[in-house]
Chain A
Amino acid sequence: DSGVTQTPKHLITATGQRVTLRCSPRSGDLSVYWYQQSLDQGLQFLIQYYNGEERAKGNILERFSAQQFPDLHSELNLSSLELGDSALYFCASSVGPKTDTQYFGPGTRLTVL
């Protein structure tokens, strides 16, 4: 158990819909990272927040957005969903802003029908 929690575990929705994935980092960690893992793309870095501020941006689509709240939990919002957005979404956390050692949550499996 990494100490990072993610909800929900599974999410099934339809194309065009919007969903929100939630992540709570390990106690004491200020950075939260979001990753997408699909069968053909591997594990792709999406975005990082550090202490409430966006720190780094990777291959995140404009239809996706994230935020980190004052209690340090983070939400990843996915809108106008397409079939290709079906994937595992992982959240990770670390103590500091510079990548450090990241601890991953169990993931949310999103299925878009």
Chain B
Amino acid sequence: DAKTTQPTSMDCAEGRAANLPCNHSTISGNEYVYWYRQIHSQGPQYIIHGLKNNETNEMASLIITEDRKSSTLILPHATLRDTAVYYCIVRVPLPTQGGSEKLVFGKGTKLTVNP
């Protein structure tokens, strides 16, 4: 029941920017978009999140379209250590549980950074 769609895989050259797209056309007005990544079998790592405005932190930039139906995660200078599965996530309500929500991790995008 993931509410996002992402390409299955992408490749990027080391040192270049990696641009990972995500569609979330059913997102509601107050829902944040979250990005996590998982390197091999390690625990997922939080990257960034945003609501409407573009966001930047030390790891990445997040560009959200004006209609909020899609977003792009940008790794400005990809390194080999950025090879991972990247998950674009929105919260999914649990309507029978008093307003609780959960994060639904879809299949994500397998990003391979090549030397």
Report which A residues bind B (CB closer than 8 A).
2, 4, 35, 42-45, 48, 55-58, 88, 90, 92, 98-99, 101-107, 109
Contact = CB atoms under 8 A, between A and B. Distances in A.
Contacts of B44: 43, 90, 92, 104
Contacts of B101: 56, 98-99
Interface residues of B, number: 21
A102 B36 CA distance: 9
B102 A107 contact: no
A104 B43 contact: yes
B97 interface: yes
A58 B49 CA distance: 23
27 contacts: A2-B43, A42-B106, A42-B107, A43-B38, A45-B103, A55-B100, A56-B94, A56-B97, A56-B101, A56-B102, A88-B41, A90-B43, A92-B43, A92-B44, A99-B91, A99-B101, A101-B46, A101-B49, A102-B46, A102-B103, A103-B46, A104-B43, A104-B44, A104-B46, A106-B43, A107-B42, A109-B41
B93 to A, nearest CB: 10
B102 A48 contact: yes
A107 B43 CA distance: 6
Contact of B42 (A44, A55, A56, A106): A106
